Structure 1
Amino acid sequence: MSGLRGRIAAGDRVVGCFGKIPDPHVIELLGLAGLDFIVADREHAAVGLQALDLMVMAGRSVGLPVLIRSTGSGADALWPAMDLGAAGVMVPHVRDGEEARAVVKAVKYAPGKRGFSPSGRAGAYGTMAAADYRAQADADSVVMAQIEDRSALDHLDAIAGTEGVDVLFVGPADLSLSLGVGMDAPELAQAIERVVTAARAAGKQAGIFLPGPEAVPRWAALGVTVFVLGADQSLLMSAARQMMHAAKDS
């Protein structure tokens, strides 16, 4: 285990953002800015497979691991990105252990059901020995299971205990909707703490989406180590607004 997955397993604090702009130049810039990873958002943005191909290539050029947030948990939503060389997956709405196991089987070669081909970027276009490629792919691919549903709270131990799942990742917005409470409700905070506790008890890590870095210390103190802060769009918007505010009011 090495790279991003190794850092996650070691409990290092890793920080990334969502990638919603389907352009490799943005990936290059964020890599040079020092992000630990980026999650190309195929669930909520227009990131097609061809764009993802270039985004992953750009990420590799600057040492920035590119994961995907998939459109679902089906194998066909996961395999193509892994063959392109994505560092892993963030799968939305994982509700129980059965779904978690299905995700792992779709991402990992053994003991999964992922179709094998070393001919893509992930296998160095066929220049890696097949056995070496399989072993490296399984050792380094990151699996984040998103906890976004009330029903998932009753299955946290099974999800966290699934071999191959690295991170229980909270989507606060969807979880708050599922719970029927606001984003600042104590019930949501308690639910997130339950996710963190279950992850830590299973020897796994917990992650969370936050719009910015302000609340990182709070959640880090409770044991969260994986942070997705905003998106490339929000970073661009914020910087542009700050520039205009400074220029107009000076």
Structure 2
Amino acid sequence: MQDLRSRIEAKDLLIGTFIKTPAPQIVEILGEAGLDFAVVDQEHAPIGIAQMDMMALASRAAGMPILSRRWGTSRDWIAPLLDLGVAGVMVPHVMDRTDAEAVCDAVRFSRGKRGLSPSPRAGNYGGMTIQDYQHNCDASSVAMVQIEDASALDHLDDIAAIDDVDMLFIGPADLAQSMQVGYPSDALDEAILRIVAAGQKHDKAIGLFVGNAAHIPDWHAKGVTLFVCGSDQSMLKSAASSLLPVKGG
């Protein structure tokens, strides 16, 4: 079975969701449902590293890779999560090449800046040699940089040209807010297509958040290959709300 990074590089159509509930059972359920991946949203939900530990364990049990998204101007939060065995990180508000290089420094051992110990789960608790651990992590860890600021649109070429960046992931709500345009709007769609074009120029995969799965086919046809659709909470609320007409009838 291909790992998530290989599937991203192959431009497979991948569909996942955000997880905002700090519970390993959510990871198991979504894995059983057959999603390709999930992103644990540490940026907008109360999920700490101890909870991430259990969710990473559930990820292995369910056979569904998870990534973490977490806010922070420094990148020192990245390596501890990769040590837990998460498949990668989605880093918000990457503005330029300097930001993107800092993300890659935190993800890849080959850059000589990530702290090294094969003792965590990702190193099979010391069961790997240092060399194997470095190689396996660098080969499989996903570095997604989020493009969600108007200023980042002027640096797309520099960001996409970095070899260790695996994906440009578009955050449409923040991007629309930064551009001061509607969400949705034609102006936002044009900006998204600019990001897609920059990715295609440098053979980089493009990801996009969508609130509705009905939007996936159109954006896939335009070059987006990975989609985060809604969240565990939005799915639960939608399913619960669908019961109310039965009660009213």
Which interval holds the TM-score relative to the shorter structure? over 0.9
Following superposition, the deviation at residue 84 of structure 1 comes to: 0.5
Tell me if structure 2 keeps the 8 A contact 1:73–1:91: no
Letter of the 1:109 counterpart: F
Residue 53 of structure 1 is matched in structure 2 by 53
Letter of the 1:50 counterpart: A
Percent identity reads 50
Cα gap change, 1:84/1:119 in structure 2, threshold over 3 Å: closer, same or farther?
A: same
CA RMSD in angstroms, aligned pairs only:
1.2
Residue 239 of structure 1 is matched in structure 2 by 239
Counterparts of 1:212 and 1:59 in 2: how far apart (Å)? Answer: 24
Counterparts of 1:19 and 1:113 in 2: how far apart (Å)? Answer: 29
Residue 227 of structure 1 is matched in structure 2 by 227
- When normalised by structure 2's length, the TM-score is 0.97
Residue 185 of structure 1 is matched in structure 2 by 185
Tell me if structure 2 keeps the 8 A contact 1:106–1:112: no
Counterparts of 2:109 and 2:60 in 1: how far apart (Å)? Answer: 22
Following superposition, the deviation at residue 99 of structure 1 comes to: 0.8
Letter of the 1:15 counterpart: I
Residue 104 of structure 2 is matched in structure 1 by 104
Letter of the 1:38 counterpart: A
Following superposition, the deviation at residue 185 of structure 1 comes to: 1.8
Letter of the 1:203 counterpart: D
Cα gap change, 1:122/1:146 in structure 2, threshold over 3 Å: closer, same or farther?
A: same
Tell me if structure 2 keeps the 8 A contact 1:74–1:106: no
Counterparts of 1:25 and 1:230 in 2: how far apart (Å)? Answer: 18
Residue 18 of structure 2 is matched in structure 1 by 18
Equivalences for residues 9-88 of structure 1 within 5 A: 9-88=9-88
SS at match of 2:111: coil
- For residues 172-219 of structure 1, what are the alpha-carbon distances to aligned partners after superposition, in whole Å with 9 as ceiling and x for unaligned? 000001000111221110000000010111011011001120111110
SS at match of 2:208: strand
Residue 196 of structure 1 is matched in structure 2 by 196
Matched, 1:141 2:141: yes
Counterparts of 1:170 and 1:201 in 2: how far apart (Å)? Answer: 16
Which segments of 5 or more consecutive residues in structure 1 lack a partner in the other structure?
none
Counterparts of 1:184 and 1:97 in 2: how far apart (Å)? Answer: 27
Q: Runs of at least 4 residues of structure 1 off by over 3 A?
A: none
SS at match of 2:110: coil
Letter of the 1:180 counterpart: Q
Residue 247 of structure 2 is matched in structure 1 by 248
Following superposition, the deviation at residue 129 of structure 1 comes to: 1.5
- For residues 27-55 of structure 1, what are the alpha-carbon distances to aligned partners after superposition, in whole Å with 9 as ceiling and x for unaligned? 10000000100101111100100110001
Counterparts of 1:221 and 1:106 in 2: how far apart (Å)? Answer: 33
Counterparts of 2:13 and 2:24 in 1: how far apart (Å)? Answer: 25
Tell me if structure 2 keeps the 8 A contact 1:104–1:112: no
Tell me if structure 2 keeps the 8 A contact 1:2–1:139: no
Following superposition, the deviation at residue 73 of structure 1 comes to: 4.9
Residue 89 of structure 1 is matched in structure 2 by 89
- For residues 109-162 of structure 1, what are the alpha-carbon distances to aligned partners after superposition, in whole Å with 9 as ceiling and x for unaligned? 011411001100100100111111110000000011100101100000111111
Letter of the 2:61 counterpart: S
Following superposition, the deviation at residue 249 of structure 1 comes to: 4.8
Counterparts of 1:131 and 1:137 in 2: how far apart (Å)? Answer: 10
SS at match of 1:136: helix
Counterparts of 1:87 and 1:73 in 2: how far apart (Å)? Answer: 21
Q: How many residues align?
A: 249
Counterparts of 1:167 and 1:51 in 2: how far apart (Å)? Answer: 26
